[in-house]
Amino acid sequence: MAERPLDCSECKKPISVHYTEIVGETITRTVMCSDCPHLERKLYGKSHTKRIMEQEDESEKEMAALACENCRTTLEGIRRGEALGCAQCYDVFTDVIIDDLLKAGKISRHLTSNKKTMPLHIGRAPGETTEISPTLRLIALNEALDETLIREDYETAAMLRDQIKTLKEKTKNYEKGKG
């Protein structure tokens, strides 16, 4: 049985630092991640960590006051889960939202390299529908039918068979009407 990977005792991220502290006869070994505040305290002392945390709190307060001029949506509201209020919100909050997503590990860093030239969202917009050609739909239905028969799910197979039959009839009627 494989051993469970060790996690940082402070923030539960995978460990990357093995810290050993020797004071007199006492040896203390600690494992932690590279961005752990506990590591900062060990290396630089409590006052340094406190000063850094105060600076971060100050910048967080400034960022929390960030709001869209158009709809008055605030960054604090977005972080609580509220939706962006208007199209201008995307321009106002882009950098902050991308940074938050990177910190949370929700997006890959390579997606942000061209963030001004390449849109972050690629694909269909909500509510947008695309028309699938009857041929592609028929191929997909036949593949799904084969899979359901292999699983011996005969009820779903019958439903798919009926859809294939209906689609073939529609295609045949359309071609007759055209010709």
Residues 44 and 32 in one domain: yes
> Is 22 within a domain?
yes
26 shares a domain with 59: yes
Q: Are residues 33 and 46 in the same domain?
A: yes
Residue 21 pLDDT > 90, yes or no? no
Report helix angle 46-64 to 37-44, nearest 10. 140
Any alpha helices (H) in the chain, and if so which ranges?
37-44, 46-64, 75-80, 87-104, 134-150, 154-178
pLDDT of residue 98: 82
Helix (H, G, I), strand (E, B) or coil at 96: helix
* Most confident stretch, 46-50, 58-62, 112-116, 154-158: 154-158
Instruction: Please state, in angstroms and rounded to a whole number, the distance separating the CA atoms of residues 23 and 29.
Output: 11
pLDDT category of residue 162 using cuts at 50, 70 and 90: very high
State whether residue 17 is helix, strand or coil.
strand
Phi, psi of 151, rounded to the nearest 5 degrees: -80, -5
The two three-digit tokens of residue 97, written as one number: 């939202």
Whole-angstrom distance, CA of residue 65 vs CA of residue 86: 18
Q: How many domains does the chain have?
A: 3
Question: Residue 115 is part of which domain span?
Answer: 68-119
Among 34, 49, 64, the domain-final residue is 64
In a domain, 76, yes or no: yes
Same-domain check for residues 48 and 73? no
Entry pTM: 0.32
pLDDT of residue 91: 83
Q: Which of 3-12, 62-71, 76-85, 153-162 tops mean pLDDT? A: 153-162
Whether 75 contacts 93, CB under 8 Å: yes
Look at residue 93 in the predicted model and tell me its pLDDT: 82
Tell me whether residue 81 is in a domain.
yes
